Amino acid sequence: MHPGFLNHLLLISQCELKRTFATRSGLLSIVTFAVVWGVILLYPLRFSADLLVQEKGLMQGFSFLDVIGFGSIQQWPIPEFGLFWHFALLLFPLLSITLAADQTCSDRERGTLRFIVVRSSRDRVFFGRFAGVMVIQALLISATALSTLALVLYRDAALFSSALPDLLVVTTNLILAVLPFTAMMAALSATVKSARQATVWAILIWIFLAAIIGGFAYYLPTLAFLKLLVPGYQLSALAALSGWQTLQLAYVPLLQSLILLALGRWIMARQTL
């Protein structure tokens, strides 16, 4: 009996997890990320949160944060999560572009994909790798959210019950936010020859797509809906929301991911291995 689609999806994504968490190069990347995140958490995030807590009474009516566009931070009952939300909305999509860049390209160039595809299928490899990278990012997002929770509890352990919903909100939203970026990298990785090329193309496509569609929408407002095609389009609107309101825009990354995955699958099916 042939192993099923889900069985292969699990095996291939497990292999990606092993590559990240059980190989020397993978662990080095994780340690680097942990150090960078540790610095962000202990310095800008902690200091800003302390400042917000101390100044909360003084900020009634007018705030410097409103001026610089971070006014929504004040709507978060726990400022650490408001700050984490803003940092993470910038950090994780950028991380996704690098972390998810090598889903299939270097294996295809090396010929390793041939050994896998002959006993699986292109679809299974494509979706298995995508699922693996998504699980890795979900774990990293969860770890950073949990470290933020630890910071909150260190300040005031009584905040545990009110912090839990925030933890779930940010984790869910961030996973949704990186979904289209990962799908875009899956499609690019199926096309180009190296992870570096995939990253460069992602940045170029992202900038030009946003600029071109922005330009069209400026002169022809009826085309403004095309902005929905730009991964991360919802992020600026998302930053202005707080709590469960943030899920109002969940349809945008889900729709983008579906389109990008369909495109990536089409490319993968036609690519020479």
Partner 1 sequence: MNSPMIHCQQLTHVYSGKVALSNVSFELDAGEPVGLVGPNGAGKTTLLSVLSGFLRPTSGTVRLFGQPPGATQLIGKVSALPQVARLDPSFTIIEQLVFYARLQGFTTQQAALEASRVLEEVSLTEVTHEKPPALSHGMAKRVAIAQALIGKPALILLDEPTAGLDPVNVRTVRAIIAERSPATTFIISSHDLAELDRLCKHILLLENGILQPETIDLNEEQSAIRYMTLQMETGPAREVIAEFQALEGVLQVTNPQKNEFIVAYDPERQPHMDLQLMQCITRQHWHYRQLSHGKTLEEKLFFKD
**Residues in touch with partner 1 (CB under 8 A):** 1-3, 8, 11, 15, 18-19, 23, 25-26, 107, 110-112, 114-122, 270, 272-273
Nearest distance in Å: CB 116, partner 1: 7
The distance between the two most distant Cα atoms of the chain, rounded to a whole number of Å, is 69
Q: Which is nearer to partner 1, 74 or 120 (CB)?
A: 120
Q: Which is nearer to partner 1, 21 or 160 (CB)?
A: 21
Q: Which is nearer to partner 1, 14 or 98 (CB)?
A: 14
Query: CA-CA distance, 224 to 230, in Å (whole number)?
Result: 11
Half-sphere exposure of 175 (CA within 13 A, CB side): 18
Nearest distance in Å: CB 201, partner 1: 21
Q: Which is nearer to partner 1, 57 or 111 (CB)?
A: 111
Nearest distance in Å: CB 21, partner 1: 12
- C-beta of residue 258 within 8 angstroms of C-beta of residue 182: no
Q: Which is nearer to partner 1, 56 or 110 (CB)?
A: 110
Nearest distance in Å: CB 32, partner 1: 17
Query: CA-CA distance, 155 to 148, in Å (whole number)?
Result: 11
Query: CA-CA distance, 179 to 191, in Å (whole number)?
Result: 19
Nearest distance in Å: CB 211, partner 1: 33
CA distances from 117 to 3, 95, 167, 272 (A): 13, 28, 39, 12
Helix axes 122-155, 251-270, angle to 10 degrees: 150
Phi, psi angle pair for 14, to nearest 5°: -60, -40
Q: Which is nearer to partner 1, 18 or 56 (CB)?
A: 18
Nearest distance in Å: CB 164, partner 1: 37
Query: CA-CA distance, 127 to 122, in Å (whole number)?
Result: 9
